[in-house]
Amino acid sequence: MILITDGGSTKCDWIAIDSNGKQAVDKIRTKGLNPAIVAEKKLNKTIRKSKELMAIASDVTHIYFYGAGCGTEKPTLLLKSILESYFVNATVEVREDTYAAVRACINSNDEAAVVCILGTGSNCSYYDGKDLHQRVNSLGFILMDDASGNYFGKQLIRDYYFKKMPDTISVAFAHKHNLDADFIKYNLYKQTNPSAYLADHAEFMFINKDSEYISNIITKGIRLFAENMILQYKEELKAGAPVHFAGSIAFFGQQEIKQVAKEYGFKVGNFVRRPIEGLVDYHVKNL
């Protein structure tokens, strides 16, 4: 049995596949396992508390884990070690989430494309048909992550406190979220996953997209992402490489992304809300 994991900062989706390429158990979901921001103790606790994972642990022979925070050696090795301690019969491969996006989005294994992730965090890479290339090293949600869920959550909270929201939007936002200053500061500065906390506020945008204020926020964020990330690959874009998008923010922001694509002259490719489905297809083909 192989276990394929799409691991974000907010949540992880796990799908087990048997030797015939069939899904062996129902999809399993746990909290996020970003080893760059989640403490080792909490990583262990999240896996250990999943009764569904523990029930199949001894049957798993391979784990393909694609995760946020797995782009550098130290956190990757930490998570690999933790997974190996629970799945003792498994060969464990841990890759950064950009590989998940590539394998889920491209139309063929050798397709050259720019692949973007817009979820809790954001990223952008170029896949040349064989290898992955990144021109910007991510410095995380405080300094980067334009157009991500945590970026938009931060914009909404700031606008609420700076009184830049239209009154009707402000009332609705306060009704949906606890905007007490002490509560916000506690989650930002004393909890372990502030980026996921911020990203939780982004859903509000997509149920209020008829507001010009909200539409402008989304478009502004996408423009920043295009300028800072997508346009790092100007030559590849000129050569015709499509730009694929993975993640919930991208999926629900398709209209704004297509608008910005026209402004900046790049070709939009596929939108994949949850890369896990595409990953399953990829690994079934390569069993």
Selecting from 3.30.420.40, 3.30.1330.30, 2.60.120.380, 3.30.70.20, what CATH number does the domain 2-100+276-285 have? 3.30.420.40
Mean pLDDT of 66-86: 93
- Whole-number pLDDT of residue 102: 93
In tens, the pLDDT along 198-213 reads 999 999 999 999 999 9
* In the chain, where the domains are located: 2-100+276-285
Alpha-helical (H) ranges within the chain are: 40-48, 51-56, 73-86, 97-105, 149-161, 167-176, 181-189, 194-199, 203-206, 212-228, 234-238, 248-252, 254-264, 275-285
| CB-CB contact of 31 with 68 (8 Å) | no
pLDDT over 90 (residue 98): no
Give me the percent of the chain exceeding a pLDDT of 70: 100
| CB-CB contact of 202 with 141 (8 Å) | no
| CB-CB contact of 126 with 105 (8 Å) | no
- Whole-number pLDDT of residue 55: 96
Please state the pTM of the whole predicted model. Answer: 0.81
> What's the distance, CA 226 to chain centroid?
17
pLDDT over 90 (residue 258): yes
In tens, the pLDDT along 127-145 reads 999 999 999 988 888 999 9
Tokens 């290339």, residue? 133
| CB-CB contact of 244 with 113 (8 Å) | yes
Give me the percent of the chain exceeding a pLDDT of 90: 80
Greater confidence (1 vs 277) lies with: 1
- Whole-number pLDDT of residue 199: 95
